[in-house]
Chain A
Amino acid sequence: MRRIGIDVGGTNTDAVLIDGNKVVAAVKTFTTEDVTSGVRAALKEIVTQAGDAARIVEAVMIGTTHYTNAVVQRRNLGRAAAIRISLPASASLLPFCDWPSDLAAEVNGGVHMVHGGHEYDGRPLVPMNGREIAQAARSIRQNGVDAIAISATFSPLTSECEQQAADIVRNEHPDARITLSSKLGRIGLLERENVALMNASLVGLADEITQSFVDAVAESGLKAKLFITQNDGTVVVAEEARDYPVYSFASGPTNSMRGAALLAGIDDAMVCDVGGTTADIGCLIQGFPREANNVVEVGGVRTLFRMPDLLSIAIGGGTIVQREPHKVGPVSVGYRLADEAMVFGGSTVTCTDIAVAAGLIDLGDRARVAGLDRHFIDSTLTTIYGEIADSVDRMKTDAEPVPLLAVGGGAMLIPDTIPGISEVVHVEHEAVANAVGAAIAQISGETDKIYRDMSREDAIEAAKAGAIESAVRSGADRETIKVIEVEDLPLSYLPGHAIRTRVRVVGEASIGNAS
């Protein structure tokens, strides 16, 4: 089974073609401002490089940090209005109340509090008032805002209020792009609403990005299905990613860690992925990223996402090195590395230039950095090594020395010896580990269903079986499937013993016989 994996980072767009678990071709190109042309170029190059092998490619799987970067750097975000159905409850803590103020200022397209919602036992909190919703929708339309997040008290239990409100809003505001909080999360009104608002602020960008991916694949002449990778290392078809960009938030680091595990053949290790802008340090357990435990903040906003537990520091190939005073980062030249780095003819000293000058890598025109003085080079490397070693130590929870897998385009910046690390492992294709991870992204299956007159154990077993079947139908290898999420909510308002059970499983793509 052949797949192309592409990772669109802030600096580089990488692509690999894998056959089974073997890398057949790999390319590294610069990300372009319009994204599409970078993806197009990477695809074209990989097809050329792979030759005949590219003829039967089943899937193109793209991972992108675009959405995370949009939130973190407060760029390309749309304005989103909030309609919260919760009054008279929750009136002191309004939507956006725990957002960083600069991000809220950028995104907040109006907050509308209306009466309604449910109790934990399914009774209405107070009757929902359709006129309030209609009025909110009209005011949102008049303000020129299209993206709307609708949240309601206890909507994971019953989404009735959110659904009805969406119908009313569509009636008043036909152009509205609506995100329902009940589609995105679990119990926890504020966090669920935060995710819905972020999603709403990204749908405009997601339209553009997804379309550009679709176009790039179409132009390449490949007859392959397009998938987008998600936070948990699985993929969704492109159409779904268009409506739920938040699910693609942390797919980059997940991809690079899983790619690193495959390339090195090591399943338990620390991973340091040095890209153009940041170095991300995480921990692999049995081939999977260790997950963050509780609340996960994205760009300073609390969410309940499942995401890898990562420490990101501002050190990457494009990181700017300042002379007076001597300082490394935090700013990176990003995708302009191709023009601005000294070795590429520019005049900005970046970490890449330091690495070339120190003889750690051969890139661009080495003569252009011959003039950098030895002391400056050494002290910059000492700073970089120190910061990486400190961060590795912070993320390490095992007292025993463990290996560290060095990946990413800036992997040469990782020191050869780190306290607490048994060995720093470099592998072939390490620079494109993230694209490898995208290519081997897993297939998921989910069941979310209400079971009646069954014991809790039986309901969970039934949901597991359903989720496994759905994953297998989507092409997962049954032998590799594992359960990653089990959640149940007893529904005391329904007759009989009713329980809503949600189970999510993931598995490796079955090789050779995918549907």
Chain B
Amino acid sequence: MTTLAQRTPSQTTRTLTGEDIEALAKGAWILGTGGGGDPYHKLLNMRQLYAAGHTVSLIDPMALADDALVAVLSNMGAPLVGQERLADPRFAIKPVRMMEEYIGRKFDAVMALEIGGGNGVHPMQVGALTGYPVVDADTMGRAYPEAQMTSVAIANLRCYPLTMADIRDNELIVPRAASWRWMERISRKACTEFGSIAATCKAPRSGAEIKQHGILYSVSKAIRLGETILQAKRDHADPIDAVLQAGRGKKIFTGKVIDVERRAAEGFLRGKSIIEGLDDDLGAEMIVHFQNEYSVAYRNADPVVMTPDLICVLDSVSGEGIGTDILRFGQRVSVVALPAPPVFLSELGLANVGPRAFGFDLDFKSVFGEHSS
């Protein structure tokens, strides 16, 4: 077995600085499209870990050996719960150790299931504590609510085993599931029982699988996006414009939140928000639906932007992401669309993450024009 140590680390890995982590948290929050959890608490944990001398190294996915073993990590559940049950790195590690024990092999690296939201920062906590490098990739390029909504599920890679840990002494291993959807159903039930929040380690992936099917360099992309916003803030430039430029996005709507309806149910945070138009959108109204993440947005009665296009609701003044869990009456927001990774635009991709996967009987139409599959 070729281990990572036999490669030339200087070319393939770099140590992330505290500033990189700060920028990552900002960028990931935007790519989270409202979900993945507010990265703030994980950022606080990372500041504490860095202050205590821990660091994280980021590894180029193309430098992974084909047979390297990568842990795919996330915090699963309803984002709102994370506002009250705060992220704790000790519990993020638990499912990783459970998986190593279960499969009888140590991991070579860890990776984010989703780069969006707090889950983009989640594996950094594990990397800092264990010393495992974090792979510069994920399986969504954003955040999605369900297990089958990943590039590795669309590629039909194996969906098991899965390990899950609760803050109490509850641990769960799913040795086998019939499909990604079954894995979603089974794990979601357990997660709901645990209080709609649980640390998970998904089916381990080989280096070859990541190289072929991962969404590559998404950590670097999130860091760059975050740096752009921080720079715009320093320059007193419009942070929304900065996001649009850095993410090649489109501005969809500007307005003020006048209603938020949400409920934590079946392990998700579901609901919708009504935004009353301001500036160029004066007189219009936008309704944004969400299931953890924003899924479809209607302008008056017309669906104007839908998943897999990324729907980001940003603070109009600061450019910061606004999660589905922190949306509230009176906020002035800009709704922005960013392009989706191509894998989700294929027929298979749309079957897993298109509007119908979220219960909307709509044919996907991208705001970025005709897409090719």
Q: How close is B38's CB to chain A, nearest CB, in angstroms? A: 9
Chain B contact residue count (CB 8 A cutoff)? 39
If A126-B168, A490-B263, A492-B263 touch, does A91 touch B90 (CB 8 Å cutoff)? yes
A487 to B329, CA, bound (A): 8
Nearest 9 CB-CB pairings of A with B: A90-B86, A92-B88, A119-B195, A89-B85, A490-B263, A93-B86, A88-B167, A188-B83, A189-B84
User: How would residues 290 to 330 of chain B score, 1 for a CB under 8 Å from any chain A CB and 0 otherwise?
Assistant: 00000000000000000000000001111010100110111
B45 touches A293 (CB 8 A): no
Q: Which residues of B contact A293 (CB under 8 A)?
A: 315-318, 331-333
Is B264 part of the contact surface with A, judged by Cβ < 8 Å?
yes
Number of A-B contacts (CB under 8 A): 96
B328 touches A89 (CB 8 A): no
Is B68 part of the contact surface with A, judged by Cβ < 8 Å?
no
Is B41 part of the contact surface with A, judged by Cβ < 8 Å?
yes
A120 touches B80 (CB 8 A): yes
Is A323 part of the contact surface with B, judged by Cβ < 8 Å?
no
Is A303 part of the contact surface with B, judged by Cβ < 8 Å?
no
B330 touches A484 (CB 8 A): yes
A189 touches B316 (CB 8 A): no
Is B209 part of the contact surface with A, judged by Cβ < 8 Å?
no
Is A190 part of the contact surface with B, judged by Cβ < 8 Å?
yes
Question: When the two chains form the complex, which single residue of A117, A189, A294, A488 contacts B83, counting CB atoms closer than 8 Å?
Answer: A189
| Pairs A–B under 8 Å by Cβ, sample size 24 | A86-B85, A89-B85, A91-B88, A92-B45, A92-B87, A93-B41, A93-B88, A120-B84, A120-B196, A153-B85, A187-B84, A188-B83, A188-B84, A189-B83, A190-B86, A293-B318, A293-B332, A456-B261, A485-B330, A486-B259, A487-B329, A490-B263, A492-B263, A492-B264
For chain A residues 159-183, which have a beta carbon within 8 Å of chain B? Answer: none
If A93-B41, A492-B265 touch, does A294 touch B331 (CB 8 Å cutoff)? yes
Please tell me the size bucket of the interface on A: 35 or more
A15 to B330, CA, bound (A): 32
User: How would residues 55 to 92 of chain A score, 1 for a CB under 8 Å from any chain B CB and 0 otherwise?
Assistant: 00000000000000000000000000000001011111
Interface on A for B, CB 8 Å cutoff?
A: 86, 88-93, 97-98, 117, 119-121, 123, 125-126, 153-154, 187-190, 291, 293-294, 306, 309, 394, 397, 456, 484-488, 490, 492
A93 touches B316 (CB 8 A): no
Q: Which residues of B contact A486 (CB under 8 A)?
A: 259, 329
Question: When the two chains form the complex, which single residue of A88, A126, A294, A490 contacts B318, counting CB atoms closer than 8 Å?
Answer: A294
A125 touches B315 (CB 8 A): no
A485 touches B329 (CB 8 A): yes
Residue of A whose beta carbon sits closest to that of B331: A293
If A91-B90, A153-B84, A294-B331 touch, does A120 touch B168 (CB 8 Å cutoff)? no
B261 touches A120 (CB 8 A): no
Is B357 part of the contact surface with A, judged by Cβ < 8 Å?
no
Q: Which residues of A contact B85 (CB under 8 A)?
A: 86, 89-90, 125, 153, 189
Residue of B whose beta carbon sits closest to that of A92: B88
Is B44 part of the contact surface with A, judged by Cβ < 8 Å?
yes
For chain B residues 82-110, which have a beta carbon within 8 Å of chain A? Answer: 83-90
Q: Can you add 6 more A-B contacts, CB < 8 Å, to A92-B86, A309-B317?
A: A92-B45, A97-B44, A190-B41, A294-B315, A488-B261, A490-B263
Q: Which residues of A contact B86 (CB under 8 A)?
A: 86, 89-90, 92-93, 189-190
